[in-house]
Amino acid sequence: MTTGHVLLGFLVERAKHGYELKKEHDHRLAGAKPLAYGQVYATLQRLERDGLAEVAETQQEGGPERTLYAITADGKAELERWLNAVEPSAPFVASPLFARVAVAGKDADGFLVLQREAHLARMRELTAEKASGSPAQVLAADYALHHLDADLRWIETALARMKEHDDA
């Protein structure tokens, strides 16, 4: 429920409504996947159901009705818990790239070479974007760059292992 936690994080400051939360998300987590409206309201309802947020007020001042949500005491506790918890460090791999290689087996080498080039191209793009981005965007770009690099390194080791296997 990462999205829920992020929204709780935004609600700490003050009560907000769905539309505002979507905007804030896309701004503060620029570089992350933009949050769909449908997702926002669905998540807010779950938060309310679980007692982590509650409807503070419904405004109707010249414009569509707005439902303000506020974080509850339970919500603050949960947010605090989430912020201090460490990520489980991925007990297993969930990556399409890995899945493809596992399925393709030794026929994967041609594809891996293409993938390497695509990654390199994307890395050049991201590096260019970093020059003109906000601090949040730079942080996101750094994250992406490091993980693309990790893919590249893994591709090299995978290719090396295939070659070994061929020789044997």
Partner DNA sequence: CTTCGACTATTCATTGAATGTATAGTCGCG
Partner DNA sequence: CGCGACTATACATTCAATGAATAGTCGAAG
Q: Residues interacting with a second copy, by CB under 8 A?
A: 2, 5-6, 9-10, 28-29, 31-34, 82-84, 86-87, 89-90, 92-104, 107-108, 110-111, 114-115, 118-119, 121-122, 135-136, 138-140, 142-144, 146-151, 153-154, 157-158, 161, 165
Q: How far is the CB of 60 from a second copy (least distance, A)?
A: 30
Binding site for DNA (CB under 7 A): 1-4, 17-20, 22, 33, 36-43, 46, 62-67, 94
Sheet of 16-17: strands edge to edge? 16-17, 66-71, 53-59
Backbone angles phi, psi at 54, to 5 degrees: -145, 160
Query: How far is it between the farthest Cα atoms of the chain?
Result: 76
- Establish how many alpha carbons lie within 13 A of residue 137's alpha carbon, considering only the half-sphere containing its beta carbon: 13
Report the SS3 class of residue 71.
strand
**Identity at 18, one-letter amino acid code:** G
131 binding partner (options DNA, a second copy, none; Cβ < 5 to 8 Å by kind): none
9 binding partner (options DNA, a second copy, none; Cβ < 5 to 8 Å by kind): a second copy
- Establish how many alpha carbons lie within 13 A of residue 98's alpha carbon, considering only the half-sphere containing its beta carbon: 8
Q: What are the distances in angstroms from CA 81 to CA 14, 45, 84?
A: 19, 21, 5
Q: How far is the CB of 100 from DNA (least distance, A)?
A: 15
Q: How far is the CB of 66 from DNA (least distance, A)?
A: 4
Closer by beta carbon to DNA, 91 or else 135: 91
